[in-house]
Structure 1
Amino acid sequence: MASRKPMVAGNWKMNGSVELITTMADTLKNASNNKIDVLIFPPFPLLSKALEADIVAGSQTVSHEDAGAFTGEVDAKLVFELGCKYTLVGHSERRSIYGESNDVVALKFEKAQENKLIPILCVGESETQREQGLTESVVAEQLNVVIDKLGVAALVNSVIAYEPVWAIGTGKTASPKQAQEVHKFIRNKIAALDMSIAENITLLYGGSVNDQNSELLFAQADIDGGLIGGASLKPDAFLSICNSAQRNA
């Protein structure tokens, strides 16, 4: 019997402010519900403020190295000690802008778990790859590198977010049917290795999710919530998305 708990996670990227943390904390009091997990990924300087405001918060990335001479990087152990439970791993912007390879993403996934963080592994294809019919092969490769390195059991303490690159911040979004097809592919791929893990792992959709389309997206059988970008910077819209997840829990 599956025991997946829906999740709504807001990725603020390099946006936000102390004032927004305060407003979001007040708004999310109305989203307090043990049926779903709600969290945000603010810029690093705002993590402490978010945690102090009783917002569940996580890191947008962590280094695959331990503490040391790595200027500008962040240590997974320190993120955990700060009070965070989660980190994003392999977000498409980290892959495309900062050149993180599948191998580096797998190392970050491993480092997160070594330091008691739950990695949210981001996978997804570009618009060109989708047009070429490569969606499944691209997503499979991104998953395989982690599974081959760490074993399918490593997915037990993780979340997977499917985020088609062509739908991030573009206003485009996969239709509920398109998104469901890829989520089902991911779950079936994991099921071929371990049915229990596949049934219980939380799969998120990320790609221009907003308060207008979240209801239909979250109603899909294999979509357990969302990794929200721009709409997570608008407290009322984010609350509406959380309410959609609660209704579909």
Structure 2
Amino acid sequence: MPRRLERPATRTQFVALFLLQLSNFRWSWRGMLITGMIAPLLTVASLGAFAEDPANLSYVLCGSIVLSLMFQNQNNVAGNFAYMKAMGTLDFFATLPIHRSLVVVATVLAFFLLSVPSLIVTTVLGVVILGVGVHLSWWAILVVPLCVLPLAGIGAFVGVQARTPEAAGATSILLTFLLLFFGPVIVPPDRLPDWSLALGHVSPTTYASSAVRQVVVGPVTGRLWLDLGVLVLVTAVTLWGVGHRMPWHQR
């Protein structure tokens, strides 16, 4: 009877998986350049031309930041999980002495790290193009990761549920645009119909955009606690769902 491999320390497992997922930069950097920087900046330039009021401009800026996070994390994570599922990589991981949950966490955090350059470029150039006054709060250190995690969790869930990488990509793109226009994410609430505002209450991007506006433009209010609470809840639910739905056929 073959001897079962001894499971390495959790830290060793995570570092190995994290570095492995960082290697995805070799194939994804072109897409990151286009969707992570160019698409949000075009959104800034086009919508900013019609939003002259400072309050409206802050929605355009912060909504574009959320858009960058969605393209870079939700879409890339969805594609990565769908690819690993189609190529049998998840089945291979299941034969190794590693925790299934660490595959999810390492993938999400690796793509978050890869998205940081696009996030910085989008923010800096967005401020320059729109001329929005920035009052950056130290809360941004907590808010940005908490905005990324639920979006990446949604992407991971789409990836493990999709039959093919192509289906995962199409579904994730569709969700990106739906979540972007449900609620006051990139468009102020007084410009949206009632049905869109109502749907915004169940969209994580509404709370992500609100949190980003408070820590980037200011001021930080008590609403931030609600935003962070919802983002944590969505993160927990999506990552739990991914862990239970992810194919893991141990042999």
TM-score normalised by length of structure 2: 0.28
TM value normalised by structure 1: 0.28
Which is bigger in relative contact order (C-alpha 8 A, separation at least 6)? 2
Q: Hey, which of these two has a bigger chunk of helix by percent? A: 2
Q: Larger radius of gyration, structure 1 or 2?
A: 2
